[in-house]
Structure 1
Amino acid sequence: MDTPSPAAARPRLSACIIAFDEADRIGDCIASLSFCDEVLVVDSHSRDATVAIAQAAGARVLQRAFDGFRSQKQFAIEQAAHDWVLCLDADERVSGELRAAIEAARARGFADAAGYRFARLSDYFGRFLRHGNAYPDRVLRLFDRRRGGWRGKREVHEAASVDGAVATLRGDLIHYPYRSLEQQLAKTERYARMMAEHDHARGKRATLAKLVLAPAWRFWRGYLLRGGFLDGWHGLVYAYVRANYVRQKTVMLWLLQNGQPVTTPRRD
């Protein structure tokens, strides 16, 4: 009986990216995925050159109207050509060390787990944050879609899960989340609204104690207890803005449970 060659036992791997107006970042993201057998980009009808750049880089591009981060990512893995998938956002890159760890696990046939997580290292206005709430920020992004996926109903702060063992790989997923402070503030306000609406729909309630204490706890936990101060002024600003996100989310939930709108009503 013939023994399968190592190449035959090596699972094929699809990289799945969701994108919208990412012309300045999609090329570097795709370049970091050159070891994958397929790169699939699900684009939310970008208004810039995202699609053209992705196609020129060799990616297969599908377009789909955006209806939530979780739904978009689940759609992407369902369209992938292979069962093992590696999921990224357009503002992320696979580092050399992480690529080597993925390739080593792949050479073993991904035999030790149904999914793999790894640390995410975020750039914050010119400095990588290595402390506080920002790091290691481990995320499960490499998995067998037959045993997992982007589950649940929450469309923001979405997370993949698998049925089976999860292993941790060495190396970092490099993350460039913000182009400017203005973009970060707009992004966190949008996420706060989406989370408040999700929590309200589930019957979760805000209290006066949470309004006062939750933002303060988020700041001090990240800045002092987890060493965010070691990242200098970058760590201070990051901790403050993230605490403000908690404040916005809690205030919006308070308004919703008291029958008040959190967005400007549309006028015909």
Structure 2
Amino acid sequence: MPISACIITFNEADRIGDCLASLAFCDEIVVVDSHSTDATRAIAESLGARVIARPFDGFRSQKQFAIEQATHDWVLCLDADERVSAELRAAIEAERAGGFTTAAGYRFARLSEYFGKFLRHGNAYPDRVLRLFDRRRGGWRGTREVHEAASVEGEVRTIRGDLIHYPYRSLEQQLAKTQRYARMMAEHDFARGKRATLGKLVFAPSWRFWRGYVLRGGFLDGWHGLVYAYVRANYVRQKTVMLWLLQNGRPL
């Protein structure tokens, strides 16, 4: 069964090469690029990818467009900061050898690197994601353009192996990224009629921290786990404050 790998990019020249190298077992690689100003497109094309330029109109929409351009119905979706590990590749190839007859889609754990250490506890891991599926039975659905997730009609199986994730180049980049995501989520929730409360303003960030750092064992990752838990709690605070401002008619 052939597989099309689908990736969306924007200024990923420093990371796209490793991502594509981990997808060498796929039969096709489709890259949808949001008009990068660096060498992303040239690098991807030099490594055999079919590159399509398209203005960015949301993470979900861009990923759905990418799978619609694929030649094959079984698609493997990655971000440029992700790589397929050797164990995960073996698991995917085993399912492919069997004709993908056991499920309509497959999920697997995502292992994130955080300032020199892979996080294996807390809210960071196993962070299972559905990324390999039959596009005839699913896709990137819904209206939410941030924190998007694929879904399929039919059984979803979990397979072994990790999707290696290098999400942040620096703390500054992480903070800027989480603020952008917080705004997008606040605007999405506001449009859907969701509202913040004083209770959520006070307790939601604290709960996110204690759930990840204490209840899910984030403290086992040392100072890396502590910083990660703090920054993720701050994301919840930003999102809730922005929603509060929107519902009270204040500009962000």
TM superposition score category, shorter chain reference: over 0.9
Aligned to 1:260: 250
Instruction: Tell me the secondary structure at the aligned position of residue 128 of structure 1.
Output: strand
Aligned AA (1:98): L
> What is the alpha-carbon distance in structure 2 between the residues aligned to residue 26 and residue 75 of structure 1?
19
Alignment of 1:174 onto 2:164 = yes
1:113-124 mapped onto 2 (5 Å cutoff): 113-124=103-114
> What is the alpha-carbon distance in structure 2 between the residues aligned to residue 89 and residue 167 of structure 1?
21
How far apart are residue 131 of structure 1 and its match? Answer: 0.1
Q: In structure 2, which of residues 119, 123, 131 is the aligned counterpart of residue 141 of structure 1?
A: 131
Identity %: 85
Aligned to 1:229: 219
The unaligned stretches of length 5 or more in structure 2 are none
> What is the alpha-carbon distance in structure 2 between the residues aligned to residue 16 and residue 60 of structure 1?
10
Write out the 4+ residue segments of structure 1 that deviate beyond 6 Å after TM superposition. Answer: none
Aligned AA (1:18): I
User: Aligned-residue CA RMSD in angstroms?
Assistant: 0.3
> What is the alpha-carbon distance in structure 1 between the residues aligned to residue 26 and residue 82 of structure 2?
15
Aligned to 1:238: 228
> What is the alpha-carbon distance in structure 2 between the residues aligned to residue 31 and residue 23 of structure 1?
13
1:146-161 mapped onto 2 (5 Å cutoff): 146-161=136-151
> What is the alpha-carbon distance in structure 1 between the residues aligned to residue 177 and residue 251 of structure 2?
19
> What is the alpha-carbon distance in structure 2 between the residues aligned to residue 222 and residue 107 of structure 1?
38
How far apart are residue 240 of structure 1 and its match? Answer: 0.1
> What is the alpha-carbon distance in structure 2 between the residues aligned to residue 98 and residue 74 of structure 1?
23
Q: Give the number of aligned pairs.
A: 252
Aligned to 2:177: 187
Alignment of 1:82 onto 2:82 = no
Alignment of 1:104 onto 2:111 = no
Aligned to 1:164: 154
Aligned to 2:15: 25
How far apart are residue 249 of structure 1 and its match? Answer: 0.1
1:56-96 deviations in Å (ceiling 9; x for gaps) = 01100000000000000000000001000000000000000
> What is the alpha-carbon distance in structure 2 between the residues aligned to residue 117 and residue 260 of structure 1?
40
Q: In structure 1, which of residues 28, 34, 55 is the aligned counterpart of residue 24 of structure 2?
A: 34
Aligned AA (1:72): Q
TM-score (norm: length of structure 2): 1.00
Instruction: Tell me the secondary structure at the aligned position of residue 143 of structure 1.
Output: strand
How far apart are residue 261 of structure 1 and its match? Answer: 1.1
Aligned AA (1:78): E
Aligned to 1:266: none
Aligned to 1:5: none
> What is the alpha-carbon distance in structure 1 between the residues aligned to residue 213 and residue 67 of structure 2?
36
Aligned AA (1:48): D
TM-score (norm: length of structure 1): 0.94
> What is the alpha-carbon distance in structure 2 between the residues aligned to residue 89 and residue 19 of structure 1?
7
> What is the alpha-carbon distance in structure 2 between the residues aligned to residue 168 and residue 241 of structure 1?
29
Q: In structure 1, which of residues 36, 53, 58 is the aligned counterpart of residue 48 of structure 2?
A: 58
Aligned to 1:7: none
Aligned AA (1:177): P
The unaligned stretches of length 5 or more in structure 1 are 1-10, 263-268
